[in-house]
Chains A and B, each alone.
Chain A
Amino acid sequence: MAASQVVRGTFAPGKAVVSAVLALIALVLMLAPLVIYPVFVMQALCFALFACAFNLLLGYAGLLSFGHAMFLGSAGYICAHGVKEWGLEPLAAVLIGAGAAAAIGLFAGVLAVRRQGIYFAMITVAFSQMIYFYCLQAQFTHGEDGITNAQPGKLLGIVNLSDSTNMYYFVVAGTVFGFWMIYRTVNSPFGDVLKAIRENEPRAISLGYRVDQYKLAAFVISAALAGLAGGLKALVAQNASLTDVSFSTSGEVVLMTLLGGMGTLSGPVVGAFLIVFMKFFLSGLGQWVTVIQGLIFVICVLLFPRGIVGGLERLAKWSL
């Protein structure tokens, strides 16, 4: 996709700059709850991880999944069910949720990687709709009501996550772990093969790479990390609902990534914060939010297909 053209003209910033930026981000994350409503930051962080996981597929492997909500939502359900009905320790519940999302990703991925481009997108739409209908009918999801009042309990039996400060640092740790996983994946030999597939799939095949297996691996990693985001989000909200598994959430994560800049590391984070921020402050406008999101889609595609960070990269000639 076009995002790839950006990368070629850029070079990575020096180590000192990277360390400085990371330290600054860490400082901001530590101090943010003093200034901003912590629930807002936690929500935004979960969506940011979700968008980064999605971007691992779209931006680095060139696969557009239009059904990523199935991983976010089902992991959320399982995590919420785990802490509420099984009395699971919250970290275990989050990990089981992410594992379940990875399993769904394996099943959907095996079938979806058999087709490319727009077919891939349509197949993921269809599978996520299947999961949606399942969640609508299943007993443990409580249909339209969702799982409510899922108290997170004590982390490792010690730290009480019902305390919002503890929860905040737990979510920060969880999402930072997720970002780190994505960073390592993208900057590994595996990530290079993914980029090669994105740029020129026939060439990658001719070089002897089993393209489908690489795509499947990327799909499962992406699903697991989206599940991690979903589990954390369910703990933050103390509930799991149909919204998280719905088509509109799948569309939202595409929007976040497109707005921030696909194929950039930090773009989806920027996009996620902007969209969550917008929904938070415009919640009084009702369905006009949908219209605004649609307009952002249209404007981004027509005028800024590189997104915000992609555009900045081009100006600064730095890989952000």
Chain B
Amino acid sequence: MLLHSTITSQQLFGQLLVGLINGSFYALLSLGLAVIFGMLGIVNFAHGALYMLGAYVALFLLRELSLSYWVALVVGPLVVGTVGALLQRTLLRRLAGLDPLYGLLLTFGVALVIQGAFENFFGASGSPYPIPVQLSGAQNLGFMILPNYRLWVISFSLAVCLSTWLVVEKTKLGAYLRAATENPALVQAFGINVPRMIMLTYAFGAALAALGGVLAAPIYQVRPGMGAELVSVVFAVVVIGGMGSILGSIITGFALGLIEGITKVFYPEASSTVVFVIMAGVLLLKPAGLFGKTA
């Protein structure tokens, strides 16, 4: 394998960058899944569809209303968050007290409806979304070329992830949230509107997915299938990290993105399966996940 020994630093850092970009999306999505799981106790199978919805809101704003990327960055999560709130209010709430598997089945059905409808209207092929002018261009770092937009995606999603962690772990609101996760009845008795909190938590998780979708739009094509492909990897990420910890899902997300990037350089055939192989290893050694508390 002579080819592999002549990897240029350009190639290596290029793939590491791609890995970090993917890691940003893994982190944003698995963070949303973890937040929703913590509060509602369900796996949100509609997460990929909500991510895709975010990207399409951005596309719609640009094409139909000529509104820029920066508007989409705010409006996309707001719109999808509202969709999420409605979903929770009208459908998911009816499943309270049932086996959490019903929540999984319901959100899977919702994902099919959203994705199928978009495939009908937009076809399976993708639409390009331009990089905003303020972020076009690239930095030459000497050892590699770093496109500005990619730098933005990595730093912005990292910032969003860390602020979510800060809010949940360090603020009063976060304390309510954690308390309601532990014992909703008691928190309700203290006069906090727990059902509304649950609704807003789901909306927030949906908004995080949509934010990921808007960030992804200029990098990948905007396609109805974009979320469904990502979400199975995100599930593996969540199993590896364990859903108990918010910081854990952020770290796992970025780390697995990087590992995927490195694999692409040294053994490209395995790059699409490496995350699943790691998942198998983690299940063998630490079934609760790297950051999980109990099995």
Chain B minimum-CB-distance residue to A134: B273
12 CB < 8 A contacts A-B: A64-B101, A115-B283, A118-B43, A126-B232, A247-B228, A286-B120, A289-B116, A291-B113, A294-B108, A294-B109, A298-B91, A301-B105
A298-B106 contact in complex given A127-B276, A133-B272, A290-B115, C-beta closer than 8 Å: yes
Known: A111-B284, A298-B110. 12 other contacts (CB 8 A): A66-B104, A111-B283, A117-B101, A121-B43, A129-B233, A134-B273, A137-B272, A289-B116, A294-B111, A297-B109, A300-B105, A302-B94
Q: Are the C-beta atoms of A118 and B276 separated by less than 8 Å?
A: no
A125-B116 contact in complex given A297-B105, A301-B95, C-beta closer than 8 Å: no
A290-B272 contact in complex given A115-B295, A297-B106, C-beta closer than 8 Å: no
Cβ of A1 within 8 Å of any chain B Cβ, yes or no, is yes
- How far apart sit A296 and B273, CA to CA, in the bound complex (Å)? 32
Cβ of B174 within 8 Å of any chain A Cβ, yes or no, is no
Cβ of B195 within 8 Å of any chain A Cβ, yes or no, is no
Cβ of B198 within 8 Å of any chain A Cβ, yes or no, is no
| Residues in B neighbouring A118, C-beta threshold 8 A | 37, 42-43, 100-101, 104
Q: Are the C-beta atoms of B236 and A126 separated by less than 8 Å?
A: yes
Beta-carbon contacts under 8 Å, B60-118 to A: 91, 94-95, 98-102, 104-106, 108-117
B-side interface mostly:
helix
B222 to A: closest C-beta gap in Å: 17
Cβ of B200 within 8 Å of any chain A Cβ, yes or no, is no
Q: Are the C-beta atoms of A1 and B295 separated by less than 8 Å?
A: no
B242 to A: closest C-beta gap in Å: 9
Q: Are the C-beta atoms of B112 and A294 separated by less than 8 Å?
A: yes
Chain B minimum-CB-distance residue to A64: B101
| Residues in B neighbouring A122, C-beta threshold 8 A | 43, 235-236, 238-239
B187 to A: closest C-beta gap in Å: 23
Chain B minimum-CB-distance residue to A299: B109
B274 to A: closest C-beta gap in Å: 10
| Residues in B neighbouring A296, C-beta threshold 8 A | 109
- How far apart sit A125 and B109, CA to CA, in the bound complex (Å)? 16
- How far apart sit A115 and B105, CA to CA, in the bound complex (Å)? 19
Q: Are the C-beta atoms of B279 and A126 separated by less than 8 Å?
A: yes
| Residues in A neighbouring B102, C-beta threshold 8 A | 2, 301, 305
Cβ of A295 within 8 Å of any chain B Cβ, yes or no, is yes
- How far apart sit A114 and B280, CA to CA, in the bound complex (Å)? 11
- How far apart sit A66 and B276, CA to CA, in the bound complex (Å)? 15
Residues of B within 8 A of A (CB): 37, 42-43, 91, 94-95, 98-102, 104-106, 108-117, 119-120, 228, 232-233, 235-236, 238-239, 269, 272-273, 275-277, 279-280, 283-284, 287, 295
B181 to A: closest C-beta gap in Å: 16
| Residues in B neighbouring A137, C-beta threshold 8 A | 269, 272
Q: Are the C-beta atoms of A133 and B273 separated by less than 8 Å?
A: yes
- How far apart sit A294 and B228, CA to CA, in the bound complex (Å)? 14
A-side interface mostly:
helix
Q: Are the C-beta atoms of B120 and A293 separated by less than 8 Å?
A: no
Q: Are the C-beta atoms of B99 and A2 separated by less than 8 Å?
A: yes
Q: Are the C-beta atoms of A301 and B116 separated by less than 8 Å?
A: no
Q: Are the C-beta atoms of A302 and B106 separated by less than 8 Å?
A: yes
A162 to B: closest C-beta gap in Å: 34
| Residues in A neighbouring B106, C-beta threshold 8 A | 297-298, 301-302
A302-B239 contact in complex given A288-B116, A297-B106, C-beta closer than 8 Å: no
- How far apart sit A301 and B112, CA to CA, in the bound complex (Å)? 14
| Residues in B neighbouring A254, C-beta threshold 8 A | 105, 108
Q: Are the C-beta atoms of A126 and B104 separated by less than 8 Å?
A: no
Interface centre among A116, A122, A295 (most CB of B within 10 A): A122
| Residues in A neighbouring B238, C-beta threshold 8 A | 122
Q: Are the C-beta atoms of A251 and B276 separated by less than 8 Å?
A: no
* Contact residue among B99, B113, B236 (Cβ-Cβ distance under 8 Å from A294): B113
B44 to A: closest C-beta gap in Å: 10
B183 to A: closest C-beta gap in Å: 20
* Contact residue among B117, B239, B272, B279 (Cβ-Cβ distance under 8 Å from A291): B117
Chain A minimum-CB-distance residue to B281: A111
Beta-carbon contacts under 8 Å, A48-68 to B: 64, 66
Cβ of A226 within 8 Å of any chain B Cβ, yes or no, is no
Q: Are the C-beta atoms of A298 and B109 separated by less than 8 Å?
A: yes
Chain B minimum-CB-distance residue to A136: B272
Cβ of A130 within 8 Å of any chain B Cβ, yes or no, is yes
- How far apart sit A2 and B105, CA to CA, in the bound complex (Å)? 14
Interface centre among A118, A289, A296, A302 (most CB of B within 10 A): A118
Cβ of A177 within 8 Å of any chain B Cβ, yes or no, is no
Cβ of A119 within 8 Å of any chain B Cβ, yes or no, is yes
